[in-house]
Amino acid sequence: MKIYKIIAFSLLVSSLSNAQTLADARKKTENERFEMAGKDFCNLIAKEPKRADYYFYYGENFLEHGDLDSANIIWGKGIVIDPTSPLNYVGLAKYNWYKGDTTSANVHILKAFALTKNKNPEIHRQTASIYIKTPVHKKLDAAIVLLNKAISLDPNNPENYLLMGDALLEKTPGNSSPAIKNYNKAIELNPVFPKAIVRTAKIYQRAGSDSLANSIYIKAQTIDPTYAPAFRENAELNMKFNQTNKAVENWKKYLALNNSNEARYRYATSLFSGKKYCEAIVELLNVQAGGIENMYIERMLTYSYYECNESDAKISSEKGLESSNKFFIIAPKEKVLVSDYKYKGNLLIKAGKDSLGIIEFENAAKIDPLKAGEIYGEIAKMHMKTKQYPKAIIAYELKRKGKFTNLTTNEVQDLSRAYFYGPKDYVMADSCYTNLVSRIPTTSQASLVQAYLGQGRSICRQDLKNEKWLAKNAFTSYLELLKPEDKTNANNKAAIMEASKYLGDYYLKSQEKDKVKAKSYWEMVRTLEPTDPQAKAFFLSPDAK
């Protein structure tokens, strides 16, 4: 509970310098200027302490700010001040319903309706809002009944149609037409009603009509330049389709209307979501300095320090790790994500602590079996970079689970190399290369060439005396697939000579003896390296005649 936000009633008198009205205070709540609205409500209550409706809407200010417990305290004070206040009973009902205690909530609702003899449209609206906005146990049909009654009692109040649109949208999220019809009715009754205009923009945004939604947000801003949510919603829309500069512009307008620390927290979160990591760091640190501390800020700082490339790598990794360590201290175990471990691992690697970083990746794999394969693949790549082949094999095999289809072709290529150069398990290397050959399309000629070369080398290592000549097909395919420019590329010289020597010997010594073919392969060797002793020996032998 954010008790620090409830200003002690004994101190209210000190803030009476400016005159406010209930409408002023409620508008500030609608504009998300919660702290300023709170001060207004305190002033109003200090001036007229027996006005029960002040307490109800003061509680609403806390509710809209996400502080349900403080709202409940204020509504309770309203009941103490005036036990016949129907609105504050609705407030208590909101608290109970949102907490899942519908039995106690219904007692308070019945009390509110009894006190008004079922004839107060605001009680109908506020009760309907419980059924619509509650996170649990929604009663949308009951809300619609109440709102129809409110319309019959107060037909020209646009709030009736605003809430009716909300109820219908919740009831049929796949069909927004009834909701838009009611929002338009609210706008018809009050053409300068930005809440309803923004509601329609959000519907179009949800439907993917970003351009139309954007124009409607701008319309709301033009009609009421003080309605801060229109700028915030527009900024968040801009972020979603990567119009970052426009988003920042809208956020600055929002902050000009509502420059609270909580508003800056929203701004920082939006910068983070929009991948403006360097800017997010500045705002998040300012928010912390303003007194907001939580696990989400530490998470965003952790990620942002890693992603921001504008600062010194050593300093950013140190600060990122500091935030990560704070996060793991304060975050409940069930709130920790795979990405939290991965970012910590990446920061450690960035700081030159590779082995510790890999441990964090392993921790990530343990908490989400569905993503474990992907993570083991990342771990294996790290080991491949440092040529720790046995460790890479372990990671890839954990991802493979006995099936090559669990690995990408690039991963199979890495696993082949790991078996070949690490434990020198040529049987497994051959198995991997054979799988590669079967999976790589013929259009990926360069990859296929390397797969055949690796396959040939792995087979050769299993038959050092060339008793079975099993590498013949692989080396033949390797040489046949080489482009003319590949054959003259110095980087390929050693491999071409290796395959050509093998095939030259094959056509001399195997059962498929063919001196013409043998001579053609040894000619390839001599062309690449005229001083090669094996090629010289061949051309001096009777077989070359």
Residue type, 331: A
CB 140 within 8 A of CB 178: no
What pLDDT is stored for residue 51 in this prediction? 96
At residue 378, what are phi and psi to the nearest 5 degrees? -65, -40
Determine the Cα–Cα distance for residues 309 and 315; give it in Å rounded to an integer.
11
- Mean local confidence (pLDDT), 359-368: 92
Q: What's the confidence (pLDDT) of residue 55?
A: 98
CA 74 from centre of chain: 37
| Alpha helices, DSSP H, located in 308-337 | 313-330
- For position 17, what pLDDT does the model report? 38
281 near 304, Cβ under 8 Å? yes
Confidence of residue 3 (pLDDT cuts 50, 70, 90): very low
Q: How does residue 244 score in pLDDT terms, banded at 50, 70 and 90? A: confident
**pLDDT value of position 23:** 96
Verdict on whether the full-model pTM lies above 0.75: no
Kindly report the average pLDDT of the chain as a whole number. 93
**Token duo for residue 234:** 């527009």
If you average pLDDT over residues 171-175, what whole number do you get?
Answer: 94
Residue 372 near residue 406 (C-beta atoms within 8 A): no
pLDDT tier at 314 (50, 70, 90 boundaries)? confident
User: What does DSSP assign to residue 258?
Assistant: -
pLDDT, position 18: 45
- Tokens of residue 529, six digits: 């390296």
For residue range 381-414, list pLDDT tens digits in order: 999 999 999 999 999 999 999 999 999 999 999 9
pLDDT tens digits along 126-159: 999 999 999 999 999 999 999 999 999 999 999 9
The sign one gets for the Cα dihedral 503, 509, 514, 520 is: positive
Residue 103: pLDDT above 70? yes
What is the rounded distance in angstroms from the CA atom of residue 60 to the CA atom of residue 80? Answer: 17
pLDDT > 90: what percent of the chain? 86
Q: Which one, of 134, 160, 141, lies nearest residue 149 by Cα?
A: 160
What local confidence, expressed as pLDDT, does residue 189 receive?
98
**What is the model's pLDDT at position 19?**
47
pLDDT at 5: 44
One-letter amino acid for residue 506 of the chain: Y
Closest CA to 42 of 9, 89, 73, 72: 9
Taking alpha carbons only, the member of 205, 208, 266 closest to residue 217 is 205
pLDDT of residue 20: 79
Question: Using CA of residue 367, residue 373, residue 378, residue 384, what is the dihedral sign?
Answer: positive
* Mean pLDDT value across residues 182-202: 97
| CA gap 495, 497 in Å, rounded | 5
Q: Are 84 and 115 in contact (CB under 8 A)?
A: yes
Instruction: Tell me the mean pLDDT in the region 510-539.
Output: 94
- 10 Å CB burial of residue 460 (0-12, 13-18, 19+) is buried
68-95 average pLDDT score: 97
